[in-house]
Structure 1
Amino acid sequence: MVATRSAAGPGRVRTGPVEGVWRFPVPAVEASVPRTRHAVRDRLLAQGMAGVRYQELVDDLLLIVSELVGNAVTHAAELSPEVITELTVGSDWVRVSVEDGDPYRPKALESDAGRTGGRGLLLVKSITLQAGGVCDVERTGEGGKVVWASLPVPREEAR
């Protein structure tokens, strides 16, 4: 899991997280879910998103990562031996995306009390909308898909 780009210029006064893009490629196995979640958490904290101001954002992002990587491992592993999570930190937003090689475009299932499982994407959409963000599923140039969610960074409170 390697950083691909980070932007924090010299002399820059930082009032929010340090911007950058990181990719976390992992094998499509169950152990990759907590491994990716921990790597994303560590990167978010290293980018300055520790403390009360960012707690809800970090919690939401980690739940989204867990659901999306878990879905890719569960449903796409046969056609995609590797899953790639990308974390993009901007000054006003954070985006997480999970890419796999399976062409099937998932749909959020409606809530059904009699059914176990199958509501991960619905949960991701719900968390994203509640946070004021957006999410979607897109095709990749290689024929797979990327599922992503972008959440706003909480503004610094006026003093």
Structure 2
Amino acid sequence: MTTQSEALPHRHVLTLPAVPSAVRVARETAEQTLMEWGIGLRHPTVDPALLILSELVTNSVRHAAALSPQLTVVYAAGRDCLAMGVHDRHPGRPPLFASGAGGLGTVMELVLGLGGTAVVRDDADSGGKTVWITLPL
């Protein structure tokens, strides 16, 4: 499974205001983009991926909007994997693997259950971060 999203042949970037409606827009954009890439919405990875995306965008809206009025979603895919990243400019790092991580705990259970990976990457200036999820197709 390829893990570097830059190396994947399909890529789409969406920047949204950090408001609750961003969750719906990010999910609808994911559905449309996946179909354009030939990844059917009935693929067994798609529903969990959409739930994971919704949780990541919700987390960014809830916890980062005060310092990050915008968030960016990156969708990427290749023959054998799907990657999604949610970026905001809040410097706090979410505890992906901590017990009691709430919505992110659910995200991690889904990611690991599907054989995927998750990582938080800080911006070069440490003023923000991207939560990256990679799932096998």
Unaligned runs of 5+ in 2: 1-7
1:37 pairs with 2:20 = no
Deviations, residues 110-133 of structure 1 (Å, cap 9, x unaligned): 24xxxxxx5111111111100011
How far apart in 1 are the matches of 2:86 and 2:25?
A: 14
Paired residue type of 2:110: I
What's the counterpart of residue 151 of structure 1? Answer: 135
Offset at 1:66?
Answer: 0.2
Identity of aligned residues (%): 35
How far apart in 2 are the matches of 1:141 and 1:90?
A: 26
Which of the residues 79, 86, 93 maps onto 1:98? 86
Larger CA Rg, structure 1 vs 2: 1
SS in 2 for 1:49: coil
What's the counterpart of residue 88 of structure 1? Answer: 76
Say how many residue pairs are matched: 128
What's the counterpart of residue 126 of structure 1? Answer: 109
Distance 1:124 1:51, change over 3 A: closer
CA RMSD of aligned residues (A): 1.6
Which of the residues 141, 151, 154 maps onto 2:124? 141
Contact 1:22 1:87 in 2 (8 A): yes
Contact 1:19 1:47 in 2 (8 A): no
Runs (4 or more) in structure 1 with deviation over 3 Å come to: none
Question: Greater shift after overlay, 57-66 or 138-147?
Answer: 138-147
TM-score, normalised with respect to structure 2: 0.87
Paired residue type of 2:80: D
Distance 1:144 1:133, change over 3 A: same
Offset at 1:51?
Answer: 5.8
Paired residue type of 1:110: S
